[in-house]
Structure 1
Amino acid sequence: MKIKNNTADTLNKPVARTALHTGLLLALALPVVPGIAHAQADAGAQGGLEEVVVTARKRAERLEDIPVSITALSGEQIDNMDLTSLERVAAYTPQLVVTRAPFGSGASLTLRGIGSPFSSVGIEQSVAVIVDGAYYGQGRTINEGLFDARSVEVLKGPQALFFGKNATAGVISIQTADPGEELEFKARGGYEFELETVLGEMMVSGPLTDTLGARLAILGRKSNAGLSENLAEPVDAEFFDVATSQTNVYTFPGAARDQPKEEELFGRLTLKWDPSDDLSSTLKAYVSERSQGSMTANVIVQCPEPTFFSNPGIACPKDDYKTYQNALPAQIGNNFPYAKGSDLYEDYDSYAFNLNTDYDGIDRLSLNLVLNYQENDYEAIQEYFYENVVPGYATYKSTFDAYSAELRGLTQFDGPLNFLVGGYYQQTERHHQDIVLIAGLENTAEDRNRYVTFDKDSETDDDTLALYFQGIFELGDDIEITAGARYTDETKKSYFVQPYVNPAVTNVWVPDQFVRDDQSFSDWSPEATVSWKMTPDLMLYAAYKTGFKSGGFSNNSILTPTTPPGGLSFDEETAEGFEGGLKATLLDRQLSLNVIAYRYEYEDLQLDFYNAANVSFVTTNAGSAVTEGIEFEATYAPNALPGLNLHGTLNYNSAEYEEFLGPCYIGQTAAAGCVLTGPGGAPFQDLGGQALANAPEWTASAAVAYDWELGAGRSLALLVQAKYVDDYYASGFGSPLSQRDSYYRVDASARLRLDNDAWEVAVIGKNLTDEFIVTGAYDITGTGFGTGEAQGRLADQASSVDLPRTVQVELTYRY
């Protein structure tokens, strides 16, 4: 694997910084040491491990009985550490990385080094997100509110049989809370100091009648300070009017100094109807609204030199939360499609309905029906040069809606053989517009398009039908053999057009030419598992699994004269491999041990490369990639000390291209492996053996949680987690500038509960080591030179980053 080890650099932290971190931890954790509470709900009062029930195989099973590599977070854990987004869940899940991105699909979810690039709208995520049994395939799902949740399960490796297409890397399954049999009420207020964030949460739940219950949950959050400090100064730019041949000068002011100042509002209403013991139906309605002052506030520039390439007078911020973004002049902003005056902005709105029905009224057969409708709307403007130079902008208007229905039946025969059979249908429509302004051109002969350099319009309609089955054979009480397959048939109809291109640049971008493609995909995805209960508390298993992710169409591509026929389409991605391991519960349910080894091969891995040299996107399929490794997990909850929970993980993962002739990064010289005479004349490099993006070889965590009963209805809950991540690349194309050193991250919380848990005061600290964590990177337009030549300079890179150290206080009342 082409990666160096810089562990020593991480260990050599300044003494003062280490002392500060130690003091913070001691203040929060008191008598405990680094760790995390894992799979411990109410076991604290008695000691020992709490039984955890998961639904990874579409049926309720104990965590220790399921032959799947899985990380399960309980509702209590989610609540205690404020894990209200997929990004926050990733910090607690080994080998899961969530990248929030400024364009394209808006996000990349990566598991064991396998993920989908954020730069393409048309590529579905390789990590499928399932909410209350329904599939959410868009990257912007990270904008949905993950709160008032019953559980989160992260399944690793291909999961095609039960979760269908687009689960080649794994699945994140979220179950939200349902109404109970008693009246419940919760109100929470909080404040986070770094971003000056105010939050409020409310939940009320209970029975309306003997058979009908309701639950309403609302979460709001507003940040009054920014993640990044915007230091951009005003910039003047001359615009040539192609209609009159005159030149006009516009001043682009610096955008808001503090960015992004997020605002979020989420709501969920649940109605649960239980008219009989055989029938249960749950209807959920979801609403999400998220807005912020800049879609690129979490993008920080990294440079190979001390200063910006495009603006040598400014020092490159590198690992510092500083950015340089210019707003639009009012005259342009008031006359540019989807702009909102001068300001940068990002708005996301969505709603969804989900109906989940269980019926057990047929002898020896359980039926489940899930109906889902979801719709989201996204608008934003991006300033994409980042270096306080004559700027460029793109506005985005993207809509997505989907309807799905799934019917599943599970037999319950007394004999050794049972079956699970299901059918799935989904219909989606995605419409995407990009409208681009490159400062320097205008056309007063146009009204709507006066300041538009070129615009893009694209749509994809998708119909998917799938059938799946599984045979479950129990050989006595000790051995279970399961085998099944899923058949998927999918059709996609897409178009792409650039309706307007400024006449001065029609030699660069092709105007008004429709590109259409009708695609069909079909696939059989088989799976087989053998599990052996050597004792009631020790299981061995081995599994063969496959996965399938359909091909598609690059909706946010760019059409140039050199775009090859079919250049906007890409093929399906497949996965195949094995995993096996043991799961043990020992010492009278005080200790659990899991050891799992795996190897999966991926063919035609879907990738998207932003070619900053000619402002175009290259969507392609990598030849092949392999991910293999071993995972170790242990949890200890001693009976002798009720309330104490120790948890640790250690993971080795090698994820790299096996065969792939891919694009060069800007500034990659011939000596560094870039060859100029690639297919179609484009430079290429041999990426065989190169590590995939966000694929550290080693990750580990160590954890302690202690729930201390103080008497008189009071208790104190303490929690600390330490996480280690090895060196990794933030980009999948090998740029040395995207290589990141290993780091340690520490999170902690302290909760004082009063009046028998009616009141709770909490302090939550995240990333207390204040690590600068990069989760994605790409070359910046107009920077770097010498690609494929003897001499060159690497392009500056835009890096998506995680939050710095945050400390939050909360006050909660429960009834």
Structure 2
Amino acid sequence: MTFDVKKQLFRKKKLPAQCLAVGISISAISISSLPISTNVHAAQPNAYELNIKQGDLASQLNHLAAATHIYLAADGSLLRGKQGKPIQGVYTPQAALDALLHDSGLAAIRNADGSYTLMKEQVLIPSSATTWQMDNITVTGEKVNRSLSETVSSVSVITGDQLQENHYKEVNEVIERVPNVIRHPFGVPNIRGVDGAGAAQGVFSFISGGRPRVSTSVDGLSESWTGVRYINTGLWDTKQVEVLRGPQSTTQGRNTLGGAIVVTTNDPDYEWQGKVRTGYENQDGKYQIAGVISGPLIEDELAVRIAAERLSGDSFINYHLSESEWPKAPNESTSQSIRAKLLWEPLAIPELSAKLTLTQRNADGEYLNYINGPDFSDYNFDGDNNNTRLQNSEETGLSLDIQYLLNDDLTAHLLLGHQRYQSEFTQYPSLFYMDLEENSTTFESRLTYEPAEGLLSGVAGLYYYTKNEDILIYDGGFDGTDKITTVALFGETTLSLSDKLDLIAGGRLEREHQTRDIVAWPGTAWQGEVDLDHAKNIFLPKIGLAYHLSANSTLSLTARRGYNAGGGALDWDDSEFYTFDEERVTTYEAGIRSALLDNRLNLSASVFYNQFDGYLAYVAPRFTNLSKAESYGLELEANAQPTPSLRLFGSLGWLNSKITDTKSGYESLQGNEFGYAPNLTANLGFDHDIHAKWSWGANAHFVDGYYSDASNTEETEVDGYTTVNLHTAYKINPDLTLSGYANNLTNEEVIYRVTTNGQANVGAPRTLGVTLDYQF
């Protein structure tokens, strides 16, 4: 009997999808009798020829039960969201179960009657000292899937459960958990003192072609950046967020001088499930409506997932403006997003997995969060002598992600993507208008070689990217086009020198071509023209050693280079065109990653030194490449689960930065600290399940004082702050959960940036919120 025939017989006896995918019990370790198959028990385990493709673990277990005639009882909640690896060959049922459940945190025990019961892995361990463990985490940001303890880059991973528990709605909120990372008012976090938004922000980005130093990618495609993050990177229905610190140019490529943020959203499931959320925040009167639904269109072959979210409400800023000067209330804002995924894993081609993703996001209204000083505690904006802006931005993306298993060791990946981004803003009371349209295409093809045993593993790839941008700002602003084309070859390999020591070597050969044609302030006495046609080839090597102290602990030492491309701009005083060089950094880093106490304690520590060459800074009236600058520091991170119901987390970052050499005329910067480079950051928190229905948690986040830019003047100095967040959740029934949270519980004054003209970008005061979730 073929596998397909057995599968058809099994379908008639399969449980409804919601029973398996959602489950009835919410207990972490209790087992309810939800049969995956009702076939006759096998008295003795036989061997079967199996070919089960990679995918949703629940669907894989259904295949296995049908093919081997076993009865498997499981709590569906244990399987929710878990993925399994493919298996092919001759297996006994127990061996197949062990292979499918490897690294899932689950295990199957064979009962006396030949049936199997699925449990959390720790339940099966007889030792009383080990009865629980944390979930395994896979890091994807280095283009090869690795466990957290095997990853040599300094990385923090925030899981989907943590995102939901803490009510994080966007990437800028997540970084409070990450050492040496702070929030930036223009939407890109600052990592290790590197201004994530880059040197060219706001109006200067229109002249010079601003680019960030920290990239943000969602499902493989980089987010657009045009001087300000007009549309936030939302986190509804997200699987995990990875924050990689230090240059990631080898594998992530462009705009990663300071680091990279990698967001992975949830994929479609082969069992119907869904969730609906409604929420409200008091401080800015913001409402949230969100939902997600996922399930099969063709059983075990074609699945869909659709997620949507809408946020709307008023700002916490008090605008003192005449109604006649505004077409609408300046404190209103609305954002919404929708994402649809289609996953195809044809039974006729089990090696193939193809995923089509369509996204659409828009944002409307306030986005700057400016207030006036000298007293920032009243959250007032006075428009008599100042301007603020309202935006209307939209982004649409389409991507195709294909994976093909060439053999047990070699996998081919292909990513094709196209994004269209359009942003408008209008400034009031002094009228100023922007209309920007950007179209970009991404192509990435790579091979990953990951043998179960062997001396060599690695990844090699080809990358192509092109962006076309049209800019129009009037009255009397800018008009022109910008085009960037990037082609790169990249790779990284790990060679085992001994049972414990690995050599890591990699590099990226990249060519970027920029053409930029901008006319600024046309028809005026200070008209200027940007006429840039510049191409650059650059090689970015990486080399390191990894020493495996044990199976769950790795000591590493790496050296790598990163860069951001140069460009051209106009002198702000006389509109003269000039060019500036690329930014380069060489980073040396030593670290240790450990999973201890049977994965109940994860520890990581890093020390690093960055040597910058040509670090770009804006010192009126021009951008200038600083000859030399350096930074060094320490990062500690810990996650622990001392009891089955208590999870602890904490991080500490220490940083020292210094401009060590400047060009003639910029001696005032000599010895200064970088902008956005606090000496100390820290975070400490917990999550506690009081019982099966009620949980709560809290965290405290500290950021030391820093300067808003490299001038280090008293006017740009920002005081340190400590915020405390609290959250709680109560399960009314297995499908309905009521949650509440308080952000900035102590009502701390949080200032992210201060300008020399007495304005500041600020964080929200105390905010209380409530959400109601229904899952099915």
TM-score, normalised relative to structure 1: 0.75
Aligned alpha-carbon RMSD (Å): 2.5
- Residue 465, structure 1, aligned to residue 545, structure 2: no
Instruction: Name the residue aligned to 2:117.
Output: none
- Residue 358, structure 1, aligned to residue 403, structure 2: yes
Contact 1:595 1:632 in 2 (8 A): yes
Instruction: Name the residue aligned to 2:419.
Output: 374
Aligned 1:532-551 pairs, distance under 5 A: 532-551=547-566
Whose relative contact order is higher, 1 or 2, with alpha carbons under 8 Å and at least 6 apart?
Answer: 1
Instruction: Name the residue aligned to 1:221.
Output: 311
Instruction: Find 1:695's aligned residue among 654, 657, 677.
Output: 677
Letter in 2 for 1:143: N
Counterpart Cα distance in 2 of 1:41 and 1:231: 56
- Residue 734, structure 1, aligned to residue 712, structure 2: yes
CA drift at 1:748: 1.2
Counterpart Cα distance in 1 of 2:389 and 2:506: 50
Task: For structure 2, list consecutive stretches of 5 or more residues without a partner in the other structure.
Answer: 1-103, 107-119, 124-130
Contact 1:594 1:633 in 2 (8 A): yes
Instruction: Find 2:465's aligned residue among 426, 431, 435.
Output: 426
**Structure 1 pair 208–179 and aligned structure 2 pair: CA distance change class (3 A):** same
Counterpart Cα distance in 2 of 1:636 and 1:363: 35
Contact 1:41 1:74 in 2 (8 A): no
Aligned 1:518-537 pairs, distance under 5 A: 518-537=533-552
Counterpart Cα distance in 2 of 1:395 and 1:762: 41
Counterpart Cα distance in 2 of 1:256 and 1:231: 15
Letter in 1 for 2:518: F
Instruction: Name the residue aligned to 1:515.
Output: 530
Aligned 1:660-679 pairs, distance under 5 A: 660=662
Contact 1:189 1:200 in 2 (8 A): yes
Counterpart Cα distance in 2 of 1:187 and 1:481: 48
Contact 2:141 2:252 in 1 (8 A): no
Instruction: Name the residue aligned to 1:649.
Output: 651
Instruction: Name the residue aligned to 1:810.
Output: 771
Instruction: Name the residue aligned to 2:478.
Output: 456
CA drift at 1:140: 2.3
Contact 1:551 1:572 in 2 (8 A): yes
SS state at 1:346 partner: strand
**Structure 1 pair 90–586 and aligned structure 2 pair: CA distance change class (3 A):** closer
Counterpart Cα distance in 1 of 2:678 and 2:397: 36
Counterpart Cα distance in 1 of 2:273 and 2:662: 56
Instruction: Name the residue aligned to 1:322.
Output: 380
CA drift at 1:57: 1.9
The superposition leaves residues 38-73 of structure 1 with CA deviations (integer Å, 9 ceiling, x where unpaired) of xx9999995332211111321221111111111101
SS state at 2:729 partner: strand
Contact 2:718 2:752 in 1 (8 A): no
Aligned 1:623-772 pairs, distance under 5 A: 623-638=627-642, 641-660=643-662, 684-710=666-692, 715-756=693-734, 758-772=735-749
Q: Count how many residue pairs are aligned between Structure 1 and Structure 2.
A: 639
Letter in 2 for 1:94: P
Contact 2:180 2:680 in 1 (8 A): no
**Structure 1 pair 345–136 and aligned structure 2 pair: CA distance change class (3 A):** closer
The superposition leaves residues 563-586 of structure 1 with CA deviations (integer Å, 9 ceiling, x where unpaired) of 33x42x322111102001212222
Contact 1:109 1:126 in 2 (8 A): no
Counterpart Cα distance in 1 of 2:388 and 2:508: 48
CA drift at 1:739: 1.1
Instruction: Name the residue aligned to 2:434.
Output: 396
SS state at 2:189 partner: strand
Counterpart Cα distance in 2 of 1:636 and 1:143: 31
Instruction: Name the residue aligned to 1:35.
Output: none
**Structure 1 pair 132–172 and aligned structure 2 pair: CA distance change class (3 A):** same
Counterpart Cα distance in 2 of 1:770 and 1:693: 25
Instruction: Name the residue aligned to 1:270.
Output: 341
- Residue 481, structure 1, aligned to residue 566, structure 2: no
Counterpart Cα distance in 1 of 2:699 and 2:388: 39
The superposition leaves residues 89-127 of structure 1 with CA deviations (integer Å, 9 ceiling, x where unpaired) of 2233332233234xxxxx443111102132332121111
Instruction: Name the residue aligned to 2:596.
Output: 586
- Residue 178, structure 1, aligned to residue 267, structure 2: yes
Counterpart Cα distance in 1 of 2:158 and 2:388: 39
Contact 1:123 1:552 in 2 (8 A): no
Letter in 1 for 2:306: L
- Residue 86, structure 1, aligned to residue 86, structure 2: no
CA drift at 1:768: 1.3
SS state at 1:76 partner: helix
Letter in 1 for 2:480: S
Counterpart Cα distance in 2 of 1:685 and 1:66: 41
Letter in 1 for 2:509: Y
Instruction: Name the residue aligned to 2:448.
Output: 410
Letter in 1 for 2:413: N
Instruction: Find 1:134's aligned residue among 211, 217, 221.
Output: 221
Once the two structures are overlaid, the 10-residue window that deviates more, 114-123 or 593-602, is: 114-123
Instruction: Name the residue aligned to 2:625.
Output: 621
CA drift at 1:199: 1.0
Counterpart Cα distance in 2 of 1:151 and 1:184: 19
Task: For structure 1, list consecutive stretches of 5 or more residues without a partner in the other structure.
Answer: 1-39, 102-106, 235-252, 304-316, 329-341, 384-390, 436-451, 612-616, 662-677, 780-795
Instruction: Name the residue aligned to 1:48.
Output: 133
TM-score, normalised relative to structure 2: 0.78
- Residue 349, structure 1, aligned to residue 426, structure 2: no
Aligned 1:34-73 pairs, distance under 5 A: 47-73=132-158
Q: Percent identity?
A: 23
SS state at 2:167 partner: coil
Once the two structures are overlaid, the 10-residue window that deviates more, 426-435 or 141-150, is: 141-150
CA drift at 1:133: 1.4
Counterpart Cα distance in 2 of 1:658 and 1:98: 25
Instruction: Find 1:109's aligned residue among 175, 189, 199.
Output: 189
CA drift at 1:369: 0.6
Counterpart Cα distance in 2 of 1:200 and 1:419: 43
Counterpart Cα distance in 2 of 1:631 and 1:142: 30
Contact 1:95 1:112 in 2 (8 A): yes
SS state at 2:250 partner: helix
**Structure 1 pair 256–771 and aligned structure 2 pair: CA distance change class (3 A):** farther
**Structure 1 pair 761–295 and aligned structure 2 pair: CA distance change class (3 A):** closer
Counterpart Cα distance in 1 of 2:504 and 2:690: 43
Contact 2:641 2:648 in 1 (8 A): yes
**Structure 1 pair 479–722 and aligned structure 2 pair: CA distance change class (3 A):** same
Instruction: Name the residue aligned to 1:446.
Output: none
**Structure 1 pair 604–142 and aligned structure 2 pair: CA distance change class (3 A):** farther
The superposition leaves residues 617-674 of structure 1 with CA deviations (integer Å, 9 ceiling, x where unpaired) of 6333222221210111122212xx311011121111112322235xxxxxxxxxxxxx
CA drift at 1:255: 4.4
CA drift at 1:395: 1.6
**Structure 1 pair 624–271 and aligned structure 2 pair: CA distance change class (3 A):** same
Counterpart Cα distance in 2 of 1:137 and 1:607: 22
Letter in 2 for 1:632: L
Counterpart Cα distance in 1 of 2:604 and 2:634: 10
Counterpart Cα distance in 2 of 1:797 and 1:622: 27
Counterpart Cα distance in 2 of 1:213 and 1:233: 53
Contact 2:230 2:393 in 1 (8 A): no
Letter in 2 for 1:195: D
Counterpart Cα distance in 2 of 1:742 and 1:327: 29
- Residue 490, structure 1, aligned to residue 516, structure 2: no
Counterpart Cα distance in 1 of 2:385 and 2:276: 39
The superposition leaves residues 780-808 of structure 1 with CA deviations (integer Å, 9 ceiling, x where unpaired) of xxxxxxxxxxxxxxxx3221112221111
**Structure 1 pair 813–327 and aligned structure 2 pair: CA distance change class (3 A):** farther
Instruction: Name the residue aligned to 2:762.
Output: 801
Letter in 1 for 2:601: L
